[in-house]
Structure 1
């Protein structure tokens, strides 16, 4: 259609000039090229419109393809930000070494073993107190309350005092913030020291399995 309109315009413009125009000496032959310029402009505008339409289609197709990897990569910064917040909070409120020297509780040392045995012994003792097996009473008392909070007060700080790996330290930092939330939230629904201690124990081993990859090793 563009070529037909361009040729028709050429014929129309040429027909307007008189037939004796080539016989005149004062008029240069270059003046007869004026209609061809008009034809070229019309044809060029048609091609330009087609190029603009193709460019618009390409620009509309590019964002659809670019959004797919952006949604996948968006989860990585969130995970990093969460780790930073948990690490700063645990480092601020959790017990830490009083000196700036290297931690002497390295793996294989006596101090490392003492902290580890102390941590799991306090966990077992807290469970016995929470289930009302030692110093039994029919009313809530200090012993059962201590047993409910034993994992947060004794187990986690004892394990954090060791020179542990990075993944284990992250697990303990998460537990230092998660266990108080469980201990405060669960009594609104179930008023039982044993249930709270059991929930803390399940959260403890689930966090270790996630951060240390226990389930992956079994597979």
Structure 2
């Protein structure tokens, strides 16, 4: 069974509540009429508004929605609960803090077990970079920095590539200097779909949103646009 990971640079229910094309794409990968979808909101300090917006969106999409709090968990058997889900959807926010909480609770290994058992792992922003070796994050105020992440996917990832002007020069400099390895950049509205660690597709909810591959070539960095399929809104 392939390990599926869908990383969104931006978009989805939290950024495009009237255009759920990326969320529908995630759901379609389960081949189930009413998939079980669990939201992890630790990056936003489990914001109640974020959680409510998740339920509103995924109930509209005819899913069996739930969320897991790590501050007030509803079960002692977190691994069993997460492994019973068809999709685990990770929200945006402070990636560094999220990963620290996850590691304390063992989610750094539990999520990989769930994915290996067929659960689709997905997320936006913090929920996109967390699966890679490294992510570009604004978790530390005032700058874009490199963060060691879970390492399920080789390389580096940056979200919001067209939405935050400081992202592109920071990513180029980090790759050029060798601070981070080559990797993918995702515009707001673009998502990369991995199968067993290999890039399977890049899709978007916005006509001009794309993914890009960045790698060092000599003393410079090449930025190659990736073939991106636009998902028509419903």
TM-score range, shorter chain: under 0.3
Higher relative contact order (CA 8 A, sep 6+): 2
Q: Which has the larger radius of gyration?
A: 1
- Normalized against structure 1, the TM-score is what? 0.20
Q: Which has the higher helix share?
A: 1
Q: Which has the higher strand share?
A: 2
- Normalized against structure 2, the TM-score is what? 0.19
